[in-house]
Amino acid sequence: MSNITIVGCGYVGLVTGAVLSKLGNNVIGVDIDSERIAKLNAGICPIYEPGLVELINEQSRNGKLRFTTKYEEAIPDSRFVFICVNTPPSPHGGADMRFVRNAAREIGRNLSVQHKTIVINKSTMPPGSGDMVEAILSEEAQPEAEFAVVANPEFLREGSALHDMLNPDRIVLGSKDQEAAEAVASLYSSFTCPILLTNIRTAEMIKYAANAFLAMKISFINEMAQICEAIGADVRQVSTGIGLDKRIGTYFLQAGIGFGGSCFPKDAQALEYVASISDCYPRILKAVLEVNRESRRKFVTKIDKVVGGLYGKTVGVWGLAFKANTDDIREAPALDIIPELLSRGANVKVYDPAAMENARRILPERVSFCENAYAAAENAHVLAIVTDWEQFRSIDLIKVKKLMTTSKIVDGRNIFDPELVRGLGFEYVGIGIPCCPSESERYLPQASVPIWH
């Protein structure tokens, strides 16, 4: 088994470190955030990821996983060094690579001269970044230090990170050093999925193309939802109907208020930037991002319409995280929706099972943070479903109805059964779901020429 350093103990770094230590390697996590490292060494996981804190503590107790802020404690003895630092969006739309550059510099300064070190880029980096990392390592390392760079993009999803990392659909490795790529492949030898060996630039591009394609599927179904609303069709059945075609598949066709998270928005934007500086016009990527932005705007307008004007009304918002089973609010739809509700004069009450603390640091003080979903519904004129947490699906709606001032639900994630909710006396509006029959006529455009001629 090998000594491995994980540089960057965030979502990807912690899951990577925990899994590789479980596979028998000795892993050291390095992070510049001393508070984060102190928490980890005290057995506290700084992120909400089902099953992760248990695995980290189990592996720490076994002596297979530990954490430090000191590169010099970790890099010299490690055969493999994974770069898992953040690559947030930069003001110009591309990826902000300063965290990667800083990490590469520190790694270079501490590279062993006793053995060859394989530096593995797991962070999502624009095509060409591997060459930059190699150049920095060469600049910083001692002349006799030997190293290779391998791109190994990560495809895990937050909320199912451990499952995804232990059951990947594929491993992608890019390097000009065949021996290094095969050494990294050996770390995953217990996995049964295909391992794709390619060059660094192609591996980096596979990651961006994967996220862009998934984001496109979501914007596509959200555009279909808009058309369904206009013509009185049900996007949920459209999604099922097209997804039964194996070439399309059923995944990532859930209409709603669009994608958030620390990756789809930034990676689609970063790829758009790469295209635009490479003399390509990324019209599809631009459309994917515009539909996504519009989905959030349309959701607020829908709420405004249902309550007959937001000024002075109380909106109960269920969900702040960008998706269920995470506390991550990076690029979450709620971060656009709530300020817009406030700007239109609404009072806003919010609840989220995991993301309250993260959101409290970002949302305006006027927002009322409630201790549970019922409290957020109390005295509300309308309930806005923003994150598809399971606990919202199974809530006692009869109790909710009694708490609300008026019984209206605008379901941004289509978590409820419209007929059931309407049967309980709620006015219910979903995404791409026909309003009750009498109303769908109202929405059907009176086409100047019959649309069925």
Yes or no: say if 131 and 92 are a contact pair by the CB < 8 Å rule: no
- Helix, strand, coil percent content, the chain, rounded in steps of 5: 45, 15, 45
Give the residue, chosen from 71, 264, 299, 318, that forms a contact with ligand UGA under the rule CB under 6 A.
264
154 binds ligand NAI (CB under 6 A): yes
Question: Binding site annotation covers 141?
Answer: no
Q: How far is the CB of 332 from ligand UGA (least distance, A)?
A: 7
322 binds ligand UGA (CB under 6 A): yes
261 binds ligand UGA (CB under 6 A): yes
259 binds ligand UGA (CB under 6 A): yes
Question: Binding site annotation covers 326?
Answer: no
Question: Could you count the other beta carbons within 10 Å of the beta carbon of residue 342?
Answer: 17
Yes or no: say if 71 and 140 are a contact pair by the CB < 8 Å rule: no
Q: How far is the CB of 330 from ligand NAI (least distance, A)?
A: 8
Rounded-to-integer distance, Cα 383 and Cα 195, Å: 46
380 binds ligand NAI (CB under 6 A): no
Q: How far is the CB of 86 from ligand NAI (least distance, A)?
A: 4
Residue tagged active-site, from 9, 263, 370, 435: 263
Q: Bridge-partner residues for 317, per DSSP? A: 350, 384
Give the residue, chosen from 4, 6, 12, 165, that forms a contact with ligand NAI under the rule CB under 6 A.
12
Q: What is the DSSP letter of 425?
A: T
Question: Binding site annotation covers 246?
Answer: no
Rounded-to-integer distance, Cα 228 and Cα 253, Å: 14
- Scan residues 75-134 and list those touching ligand UGA (CB under 6 A): 124
What DSSP string runs through 84-148? ----PBPTTSSB--HHHHHHHHHHHHH--SSS-EEEEE-S---TTHHHHHHHHHHHHS-TT--EE
Is 193 tagged catalytic? no
Q: Site for ligand NAI (CB under 6 A): how many residues? A: 26
136 binds ligand NAI (CB under 6 A): no
323 binds ligand UGA (CB under 6 A): yes
Residue showing tokens 């109380």: 314
46 binds ligand UGA (CB under 6 A): no
- Scan residues 198-227 and list those touching ligand UGA (CB under 6 A): 211, 214, 218
Which of ligand NAI, ligand UGA, none sits in contact with 389, Cβ below 5 to 8 A by type? none
- Edge-to-edge strands of the sheet including 3-7? 65-68, 26-30, 3-7, 80-83, 117-121, 147-151, 171-174, 195-198
Q: How far is the CB of 77 from ligand UGA (least distance, A)?
A: 29
Q: Which residue stretches of 232-349 are H helix?
A: 235-243, 264-276, 283-306, 334-343
What DSSP string runs through 178-240? HHHHHHHHHHTTT--S-EEEE-HHHHHHHHHHHHHHHHHHHHHHHHHHHHHHHHT--HHHHHH
What count of residues does the chain have? 453
Give the residue, chosen from 20, 36, 64, 119, that forms a contact with ligand NAI under the rule CB under 6 A.
36
Q: How far is the CB of 169 from ligand NAI (least distance, A)?
A: 13
Which of ligand NAI, ligand UGA, none sits in contact with 30, Cβ below 5 to 8 A by type? ligand NAI
9 binds ligand NAI (CB under 6 A): yes
* One-letter identity of residue 403: L
Rounded-to-integer distance, Cα 205 and Cα 270, Å: 11
Give the residue, chosen from 85, 291, 303, 376, that forms a contact with ligand NAI under the rule CB under 6 A.
85
* One-letter identity of residue 17: G
Chain residues that interact with ligand NAI, rule: CB under 6 A: 7-13, 30-33, 36, 84-87, 99, 102-103, 123-124, 154, 156, 158, 262-263
Chain residues that interact with ligand UGA, rule: CB under 6 A: 124, 154-158, 211, 214, 218, 252-254, 256, 258-261, 263-264, 322-323
Catalytic residues: 263
